[in-house]
């Protein structure tokens, strides 16, 4: 493993490199993000992703859903366990940013592909 790969983003130990894929609606961002993820995985890297939603809530946590009702009752967070998936919901008074998302990155991840508008704190490369 190269020293650069060990050091991660901006020389900070343990922090993955961030690749942001940004563009207009229906411009192919998801296609590009998926291609980047596939290629990085094929090269042996550990890869995660972040998807920024701007205009609509995630359907799983819709109005009236059990997870939403837990949050409305005052839960600080809710974890939804599904067959083969795990989702984490955290009610917030302000939009979450890079540091909030990074708390959930497991150790050893080399790259995070961030689709949509990323927090400027994330730094990294950008594919437009």
User: What CATH number corresponds to the domain at position 22?
Assistant: 3.40.50.300
Predicted local confidence at residue 33, as pLDDT: 94
Question: What's the pLDDT score for residue 101?
Answer: 86
| % of the chain surpassing 90 pLDDT | 27
How many domains are contained in the chain?
A: 1
| Residue pLDDT, tens place only, 35-66 | 999 999 999 999 999 988 776 655 556 677 78
Check pLDDT > 60 for residue 10.
no
pLDDT recorded at residue 122: 61
Residue 93 lies in a domain: yes
Residue 115 lies in a domain: yes
Query: Has residue 34 been placed in a domain?
Result: yes
> Given this model, what pLDDT does residue 6 score?
43
Six token digits for residue 124:
């990294």
Does 3 reside within a domain? no
- What are the φ and ψ backbone dihedral angles of 46, each rounded to 5 degrees? -90, 130
Q: Which domain holds residue 69?
A: 16-52+59-127
41 part of a folded domain: yes
Backbone angles phi, psi at 72, to 5 degrees: -65, -30
Q: Is residue 2 part of a domain?
A: no
pTM for the complete prediction?
Answer: 0.73
Q: Is residue 110 part of a domain?
A: yes
Token pair of 43, please?
């090269």
CA–CA distance from 116 to each of 2, 66, 111, 119, 123 (Å)? 30, 28, 16, 10, 14
User: Looking at 46-50, 73-77, 92-96, which range is the least confident one?
Assistant: 92-96
In a domain, 121, yes or no: yes
First and final CA of the chain: distance in angstroms? 29
């Amino acid at each position: 493993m190269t020293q650069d790969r060990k050091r991660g983003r901006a020389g900070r130990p343990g922090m993955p490199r961030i690749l942001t894929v940004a563009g207009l609606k229906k411009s192919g961002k998801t296609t590009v993000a998926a291609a980047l993820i596939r290629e990085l995985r094929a090269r042996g890297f550990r890869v995660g992703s972040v998807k920024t939603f701007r205009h609509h809530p995630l359907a799983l946590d819709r109005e009236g859903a059990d997870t939403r009702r837990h949050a409305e009752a005052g839960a600080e967070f809710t974890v939804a366990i599904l067959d083969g998936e795990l989702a984490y919901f955290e009610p917030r008074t302000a939009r979450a940013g890079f540091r909030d998302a990074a708390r959930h990155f497991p150790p050893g991840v080399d790259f995070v592909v961030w689709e949509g508008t990323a927090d400027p704190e994330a730094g990294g490369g950008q594919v437009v």
